Each structure stands twice: as structure tokens, then as C-alpha cells.
Amino acid sequence: MAQFRTLPGFREFYPEEFARKSRLLAAWRAVARSYGFCEFEPPVLEQLELFTEKSGEEIKSQLFEFVDKGDRAVAMRPEMTPSLARMVGARAGAIRRPVKWFAIGENYRYERQQKGRLRAFYQYNADILGESSINADAEIISLLVDSLRVFGLDQSHFRVRLGDRTLWVLFLQSMGVDDARMVGVLSVIDKLEKVSREALREMMDAALAGSGVSAAGLIADIETLVQIRSIETLGQFLEQKCPGNPDIPSRIKDWNALIDLLGGLGVDKFISVDMGIVRGLAYYTGFVFEAFQIVGSGRALAGGGRYDNLVGKLGYQPMPAVGFGMGDVTVSDLLELVGKLQSDDFSPQVYVVIGSENLRKEALDVVRRLRAQGVRVDYPLKAAGFGKQFKQADAVGATYAVIVGLDELNAGAVKVKNLRTAHEYTVPISSSDLASEILK
């Protein structure tokens, strides 16, 4: 019979892989909670339009979409941000602000097969809604950095490239790009590093068609802008390109203030000024950022930014927002590359060795009492000799073997062997705190 395989881009997690993923997600949860974020969860399946209208062209082409048995056009979530915006918008009156929420779950994108990109991947999202000041941007960027530092990663492993859609829009407006063409031009800029010069030129021609703006001239300025690495030079270039526009110096002030706040939070050294970061998703409005590994393949670890219009566009009272998403695939690949991949250890602490089959009931009583005290306990499901049981205790990774044998029971005790140190001792079976007497 033909054997079934997993679908391309879908993983199955055997226990060892699950233990590594579980460790990753637990670390993210702990960091997010240390920042005062609360966990939430959106549905996996949503109305198709939530994503076709809100996420943008690229994601639209990658949707796992179908018509359900009730004739509804639906899609598996490719991201969580539109659902978050709806959940917060729908209860805006009742939710405490600022809303600091995080979520961890699987997302689905029908991506072209490539290293680091799967069709089902876990993503950790953290977002702040209801706060428009850069204090929220700083808090989010700091959380992003700490969510990578928690694994022992540092400046030699990753950087956060910081761009700004607000400055792009100001610049493009003064170059004559109108609102209707703005998102199109921004998504071409987002492709700058990914496509050839000719392809870029063609895309820009198409995005500017009918506007009278020269693609060649604009591309030359864009190429200069994305090379700039200091706020001062950025300000000088833009003030020269958009003379007399008071919004430019005021935005440059925001840049300096944001870097200052990031300094206060101890993460400014991870940040590079980089207008090459525009972000592919349609809803971003202000500062945008992406974390890249700077060892190995240089892939994106996380991305995010400000999206002040999304809640309003879903039909609710407008609410400013900023957040990021971080994937499990590239982060675990990086951790493996630099030797920092760890696993959760859920192996049993205690293995109960049954001295002889007619003592199974007494042994089960010990098992039950230890489990009730929160100890992870395993024991043989089949009659087996001592040697085999000790082997199994080792194999499952237990630290202690607790032997329930006739001589010990007659003396009102169980024997304990620490399998790491070979130290042996007896513990009274009637002890009211069996767990701490055994685990010492």
C-alpha cells in the first residue's frame, strides 16, 4: 500500500523536536510576561476577506483558502494581526489600555519552497494597541530584542534594521507620488533587495504609470536613501529633497527620541538606521523594523512596525497600534547554527521499580502519591526483572529509582537510588511528604 507523507512545508514534531519547540515557546512566553503582556489566541480559520483586504498583495497569493460546507469563503490564518485588530476593536470600550497582548500559534502560507520558509510555521506576536507615542514603539522593539537575547544571542548574532514609512510617504509625496499610488510604490521599494535592477525598474514604471513621475530619477534617490546609516545624514538628505517641509525635521526628532528610549531600555546597540526596511504588509504606517541574523544565511527572524489605521479600517473606532511577529523556523535554525538550541526536559524524575509482580498495587500507591505531589513518575507496565527496570529508568531519563520491594515494605520503607550519583537511602513509606524525602 502507498505510504502517506506529510505535505510539503508541513512539519511533524516527534518528541525530541517537540521538546525543542516547547522550550522556544516557553522562553518567549516568559519574556512577554516579564514585559506585562497578556496572552490571547485568535481563530485558525477566518473569513477570507479579513486577509485579502487587510494583509496586502503578497499574502493574498499565499493563502490556504477554500469554501466551507456552509458556502463561506474562508482562509487559514497567514498572520494574526488582522484578527487581533478585530478582537481589540470589537471590545475597545471594555479593554484596559494600553492593550499589551501576545499570541503564539501556527500560521499558514502557501510559500514557494525555500530554506527557512515553510507552509506551516509557529509565530510569536506581541502588540501594543491604544498608545500612539514612540514609547510604545520602544517597548515593542525592546521586547523583540529580549525575545532573542533570552536564548543567549547577542550583537554578534543579529541586528534590528529600523525604517520608517512616515518618512517614505513624506519623501514620496514631495516627489509627486499621489496617495492612490503610494502603497504600490512602497511595495516596490520593499522588493529593492530581492529583485534585479531591470525588474525593479519595470515594477516602478508600472506603479508610477500615469503619474508623470520619472521612475529612473526616483529609483536613484531611493538607492541613496537606503544606503544611509545615520539619523543626521537621513535628515540632511530629506531636508534637501523636501525643502521647507516642517514634517521632516519633526520626524527626525522622533527618530532621535526613539533611539534615546531604546538606549534607556538597553537595546540601542542592536539597531541600525535602514530605510531599506519598508515591510511587505499593506497596513504599516510609521516606524517599521526587521530583525536579521548576521551569521549564516542572514535571514529575517522577526518583523513588525506601527499600523495605526488597521483597527479603524475594520470598522471600529480607530486605535493606534504597533507590534511584531517572530517565527520559530529561522530562530531555531539560528540557535542550532550557533550551538544554543536547547530542549525542555519533561522526562520523569522518578522511576518506580516494582520488586515483584505481587507488590504492583503497593508500588502504584507510591506512584499515585508522588504524582499527586507534582512529581513526574514512570513505572513498568509489564512484569520485568530488576536489571531491565533499571535500564528502562535510565532510558527514560529518570534521576531517581524508587524500589518497592518486600524487605523494604516489611520495614515500612522504600529504597531510593540516585541514578546520577549512585547514592542509596531509605525513606519511610508512611511519610506525609514522600516527594521531598525522595528528591534530595
Residues near ligand HAM, by CB under 6 A: 79, 81, 109, 111, 117-118, 121, 123, 125, 127, 281, 300-304, 323-327, 329-330
How far apart are alpha carbons 250 and 409 in whole angstroms?
Answer: 80
In angstroms, give the least distance from the CB of 304 to ligand HAM.
4
Closer by beta carbon to ligand HAM, 188 or else 302: 302
Closer by beta carbon to ligand HAM, 123 or else 389: 123
Phi-psi region of 374 (alpha: psi -120 to 50; beta: other; left: phi over 0): left
- Helices 231-241 and 247-264: angle between axes, nearest 10 degrees: 170
Alpha carbon 264 to chain centroid, angstroms: 24
In angstroms, give the least distance from the CB of 150 to ligand HAM.
16
**Strand, coil or helix: 39:** strand
In angstroms, give the least distance from the CB of 136 to ligand HAM.
12
**Nearest-CB residue for ligand HAM:** 327
In angstroms, give the least distance from the CB of 134 to ligand HAM.
16
8 Å CB contact between 129 and 317: no
In angstroms, give the least distance from the CB of 310 to ligand HAM.
9
Closest to 291 measured CA to CA, from 98, 106, 157: 157
In angstroms, give the least distance from the CB of 9 to ligand HAM.
8
Closer by beta carbon to ligand HAM, 24 or else 118: 118
ω into 98 cis (within 30 of 0): yes
Closer by beta carbon to ligand HAM, 338 or else 439: 338
Closer by beta carbon to ligand HAM, 58 or else 221: 58
8 Å CB contact between 403 and 414: yes
Report residue 370 as a C-alpha cell.
508522588
Closer by beta carbon to ligand HAM, 188 or else 322: 322
How far apart are alpha carbons 248 and 173 in whole angstroms?
Answer: 12
Closest to 419 measured CA to CA, from 402, 404, 437: 402
In angstroms, give the least distance from the CB of 166 to ligand HAM.
16
How far apart are alpha carbons 44 and 75 in whole angstroms?
Answer: 8
Closer by beta carbon to ligand HAM, 137 or else 408: 137
